[in-house]
Structure 1
Amino acid sequence: MHLDLYFFAFAIPAVVFAGMSKGGFGSVASFAATPFLALILTPGQAIGLMLPLLIVMDVTAIKVYWRKWDWPIARTLILGAVPGILLGGALFGFANPDVFRFLIGIVAIGFVIYQLAKSRGLVPTPKVKMGARGGIFWGGVAGFTSFISHAGGPPATVYLLSQKLEKTTFQATSVLVFWAINALKFIPYFALGIFSPETFKADFLLIPAAIAGVFIGAYLHKNISEKLFFGITYVFLVVTGAKLMFDALL
């Protein structure tokens, strides 16, 4: 990892965009930073770089949405995430980087396909609230996808949408869930050697971009449509996801 102008030309927009999603759009698209960074870094470097910054964003967003969350719903997802995180850690210990490039690409494109299908009514929105078992299951999926690419937002959202939460409660609950999931990932990331001295140096330099992104997102939460934000995200994810999959298969 070389901290030169080329690196920051990718890293700063990626981190700001992730912060915007954290601060205003349910954290669902914050993982878009990982496939973007994986274009110039190894998958391990990309997820390692983003985790401390995501934790900074989570702490900042928690202050914005303090105690506006639904704790029982958040708790269910957090408990379910633990086995998913353990599974992700086990896979990371045995897989080569191209496996993770391919998985990150699949998750990126799969997210877009899922969202477009849902918007056209091909994926029905749950008409009744899921119980604790549903929350544990989707929490487990969120823990796994979060571990490999910080992409826990979509599966967690499946459960959150079934709870019929008000917009701000939904956002606050999502913020709390991913603060906990990201904190839980830190120890296995450290044990697997995902972090490096360069990781923390880069993170320190990118903290202002992370915090700025959260506040920009909180502002946009009230002032622009989600349709515009996610439309840009979808194009971004398809391009980067396809590139990662192509590179992994070469």
Structure 2
Amino acid sequence: MDGWLLLIVVVFFASLLQTSTGFGFSIIGTPFLFLLYPIHTAVQINIVLSICLSSFMIYKIRKEINKQLLITLIKGSILGLIIGLAVYLYMDVQILKMTVGILIIFLTILLILKLTIKQSKKGDFLTGGISGLLTTSIGVPGPPLLLYFSSVGTNKATLRSTTLAYYLFVYFASLVMQIGFGGTSSEVWISSSIGLPSLIIGIFAGQLLFKWISQKTFKIITYIILLFTGLYLIITS
């Protein structure tokens, strides 16, 4: 029962952050889910709830989506999803977590020091590929997108809507691949059902919060999320 209570609280705050910024559900939720469940179970619960969140939000934010960017990200993610599945099934995930954590912290520091790059289709494609790899392997697709979009100066509305639409595809594809090759368990679906009501409440609260977040505050939250993710990945590896 205590585990379910923690699940409900974590899902609420993770969905609140995801809905208000476009990022954060996996970044906040996954560390705590790893404390409650085995790695593969935690990853699948995170993916199922993320699909639900994106599905609830997609209609409301559909007009803000950058469709060309979305298509490029999806194309790039396909190869990454396949590579990430191999990591999920056969490779040492801890080494990947350590490497990604160090890289995220390094790049975040560069962003804080005002690193900027020019957006391009190659950059969009590569970002989608890395995000896809991290989705099927450890269930955390956000950091590559957050780093890339922050460095090219994407506005918060486009960032939130396009990434949520992208998540709907990449999470669904990842879940199908994981179940097809690695299976699933009743615990994944029971726990996801328990967390669903708090997910919905978090979505409504996050939509209200989004209206009050300025671009400057949004950027600060971005840096905090990235640094937290990097440190978490290093510590847990």
Band the TM-score falls in, shorter-chain normalisation: 0.7 to 0.9
| Residues 1:111 and 2:104 are matched in the alignment | yes
Cα offset, 1:116, TM superposition: 3.4
- Which of residues 106, 119, 124 is equivalent to 1:129? 119
Q: 1:87-126 deviations in whole A, cap 9, x for unaligned?
A: 011122213xxx32453455456434432331123xx211
Aligned mate of 1:32, from 9, 28, 33: 28
Q: Compare 144-153 and 105-114 and name the one that shifted more.
A: 105-114
TM-score between the two structures when normalised by the length of structure 2 = 0.85
Cα offset, 1:67, TM superposition? 2.1
Provide the rounded CA distance (Å) in 1 between the counterparts of 2:231 and 2:5. 18
Contact residue 22 and residue 58 of structure 1 kept, 8 A: no
| Contact preservation (8 Å) 1:49, 1:203 | yes
SS at match of 1:192: helix
> 2:187 matched to which residue of 1?
198
Q: Displacement, 1:11?
A: 1.8
1:152 corresponds, among 128, 132, 141, to: 141
1:19 aligned counterpart, secondary structure:
helix
Distance 1:184 1:116, change over 3 A: same
Structure 2: stretches of 5+ with no match in the other structure: none
Structure 2 partner of 1:87: 83
Q: Does 1:226 find its partner at 2:191?
A: no
Does structure 1 residue 46 correspond to structure 2 residue 42? yes
Number of residues of Structure 1 aligned to a counterpart in Structure 2: 234
SS at structure 2 position matched to 1:125: coil
Q: Which residue of structure 1 aligns with residue 53 of structure 2?
A: 57
CA distance, structure 1, for counterparts of residue 149 and residue 229 of structure 2: 22
Aligned identity (percent) is: 22
Instruction: Quote the Cα distance in structure 1 between the aligned partners of 2:180 and 2:229.
Output: 29
Higher helix content, 1 or 2? 2
SS in 2 for 1:223: coil
Give yes or no for contact 1:43–1:101 (8 Å, CA) kept in 2.
Answer: no
| d(CA) in 2 for partners of 1:105, 1:9 | 30
- 1:37, 1:239 → 2: CA distance? 16
Note if 1:73 corresponds to 2:64. no
Matches within 5 A, 1:3-22: 4-5=1-2, 7-22=3-18
- Whether contact under 8 Å (1:48, 1:199) holds in the other structure is yes
Q: Which residue of 2 aligns with 1:241?
A: 233
**1:40 Cα deviation from its structure 2 partner:** 3.0
Alignment check: 8 A CA contact 1:21 1:217 kept: yes
Hey, what's the Cα distance between the residues in 1 that align with 2:182 and 2:88?
A: 11
Query: Which whole-Å deviations, capped at 9, do the CAs of 1:27-58 have from their partners, x for residues lacking one?
Result: 25633311221123221111011111000011
Q: Deviations over 1:198-241 (max 9, x none)?
A: 11011111111222222222222222433664576467546643
SS in 2 for 1:67: helix
Shift in Å, 1:134: 2.1
Code of the aligned partner of 1:39: L
Aligned-residue RMSD, C-alpha: 2.6
Q: Which residue of 2 aligns with 1:248?
A: none
1:138/1:158 contact within 8 Å kept? no
